[in-house]
Structure 1
Amino acid sequence: MATKAVQAVEAATSAVTRTIEAPLFKKRLGTKQVFLPNFVITMIRNPKLPPTFASFIVPLKLNKLDLKDYLWNAYGVPVVGVRSYIQLQKLRQDKPGALRISPRKWFRPRSIKKMTVEMERPFVWPEEPTGDALEKWDNTMYKAANEDKSEQEESYRPDSRERPNTKDRVAMKEQAKQFLAGEEKWKSTPKLEEWIDVGEPEEVETDLDIEPTNPGR
């Protein structure tokens, strides 16, 4: 009986504490109402962070108080602390979206601002989709497009001609293995067809006057 009484008292105390703390916590946040937000906040999966921490990519103009207010009013998530930093992007050739990459015209994309928040309650990510589940988002085409883009960017580097062609080397190695194993036979390059006469030769433009190249001689 004593244990049940203690549990009831603790439950009532915690309920009263939540009732008192919630308005105080909300009072410290902003009260500006935004009905049509024109910004995007992206949550990043980071397995190195503890369950009580979450990482976000936010606009450069967003500050810590804005993110804290956003998480509380939109999702009811109380935030204990926020840390932010700006990540400088790497140099790349030409601007994004160009139809044809211009070599040796360097461009630095806009920096990315990231924020890490500490929450009162832990958050566990769902399991990552693998295998056939990724095909719903055209994962094969996405990987092929990224590989093609990387190869195109590498071909425009100043030292691209000095680097070995890995694809050709691998293809020649596989073909040599097939020759040695007898799976494929060597075929010489066929000779080009010889010129075939279809009639008697005929002289054309007989009345054409050609000026000498060196009239003084």
Structure 2
Amino acid sequence: MRLARKFWGRRPDTVAGLFTKGHQEIYLPNFTVTFVRSPALPPNFAKFIVPLNLNKFDIRDYLFHAYNVRVLKVRSFITQSKVETNEKGQKYRKRATKTMTVEMTEPFVWPKEPEDFELWSKDTHDAAAEYNEKYSRHLNLTDFAIKLDAPPREHRKTLKEQARALLSGKEKWEPTWQAMRGKRDSVVDSLGSGRYYNR
């Protein structure tokens, strides 16, 4: 209570011991903090996607030392992923996502979104992301699923074209026995009916 009465009414950036600051210097951090554009939040609020092992003190210390941003409050949420089914029918759940919303002393206004993304090679990035997604999905497929996912062969294209011609009325359906016109008996005589055979 003494601490609260002593600093009551003063700006947080003028308070010397507002929170414990870290003193360990890190030059190559092994974590990723993603700043998310959130138009629904006020300008003095910011939303981040952080690793699951990052706590409120870490994000406050990180913003203070890296960007000199004073943080008043921090709210953290962990969102569980939906249960999905893989190609083998097994149930699994992807890694959960942790988000943190911080309240800052100074507002931050996002810049206007660019209309031309040619400087950032957006087309190349999207093509690489699509290839990586297709490759990762291909690794989890079985041999039968890979064959189904393969490009259509020539006979499949022919059957597809024949089906379209029949549905459109360009060609008329002719039963197999009429199309062969007596060739069935010669084929059976040469190959045999298959009913009687010697092992």
- The TM-score with structure 1 as length reference comes to 0.51
Shift of 1:119: 0.5
SS at match of 1:118: strand
Percent identity, aligned pairs only, is 39
Q: Which residue, 117, 120, 124 being the options, matches 1:133?
A: 117
Counterpart-to-counterpart distance in 2, 1:92 and 1:40: 26
CA 1:61–1:27 in structure 2 vs 1: closer, same or farther (change >3 Å)?
A: closer
**Is residue 189 from structure 1 mapped to residue 175 from structure 2 by the alignment?**
no
Which of the residues 14, 17, 33 maps onto 1:21?
A: 14
Deviations along 1:87-120, one digit per CA (max 9) or x if unpaired, are 11111223xxxxxxx1421110111111000111
Counterpart selection for 1:62 from 48, 54, 58: 54
Give the match for residue 170 of structure 1.
none
Q: Could you tell me how far apart the structure 1 residues matched to 2:180 and 2:45 are?
A: 78
**What code does the residue aligned with 2:112 have?**
E
| CA distance in 2 between partners of 1:81 and 1:113 (Å) | 16
The 1:28/1:138 distance shift into structure 2, 3 A limit, reads same
Separation in 1 of the partners of 2:28 and 2:111?
Answer: 29
Which residue in 1 is equivalent to 2:3? Answer: none
Once residues 64 and 82 of structure 2 are traced to their aligned partners in structure 1, the CA distance between those partners, rounded to angstroms, is 34
Instruction: Measure how far apart 1:129 and its partner are.
Output: 3.4
Task: Specify the alignment match of 2:147 in structure 1.
Answer: none
Q: Distance in 2 between matches of 1:84 and 1:117?
A: 9
Change in 2 beyond 3 A, CA 1:25/1:45: farther
Give how far 1:127 is off: 1.8
Question: C-alpha separation between the residues in 2 aligned to 1:50 and 1:77?
Answer: 16
Instruction: Identify which of 29, 44, 58 aligns with 2:36.
Output: 44
Structure 1 residues 26, 33: CA separation in 2 closer, same or farther (over 3 Å shift)? farther
State the alpha-carbon separation in 2 of the partners of residues 77 and 188 from structure 1: 72
- Give 1:138 deviation, angstroms: 2.2
What SS does the corresponding residue of 2:43 show, helix, strand or coil?
A: coil
Aligned to 2:94: 109
Match of 2:107 in 1: 122
Structure 1 residue 93 corresponds to structure 2 residue 69: no
RMSD value, Cα: 4.3
Task: Report the residue type matching 1:70 in the other structure.
Answer: Y
Counterpart in the other structure of 1:77: 69
Q: Give 5+ residue unaligned stretches, structure 1.
A: 1-16, 95-101, 153-185, 206-211
Deviation (angstroms), 1:33: 1.3
Structure 1 residues 124 and 61, CA gap change in structure 2 (3 angstroms): same
Q: Quick one: structure 1 residues 93 and 72, their matched pair in 2 at CA, closer, same or farther if it must change by over 3 Å?
A: same
CA distance in 2, matches of 1:140, 1:42: 18
Distance of aligned partners of 1:140 and 1:74 in 2 relative to their CA distance in 1, 3 Å threshold:
closer
Larger Rg: 1
Match of 2:27 among 24, 35, 38: 35
In structure 2, relative to structure 1, the CA distance for the partners of 1:110 and 1:121 (3 Å cut) is same
Deviation (angstroms), 1:34: 1.3
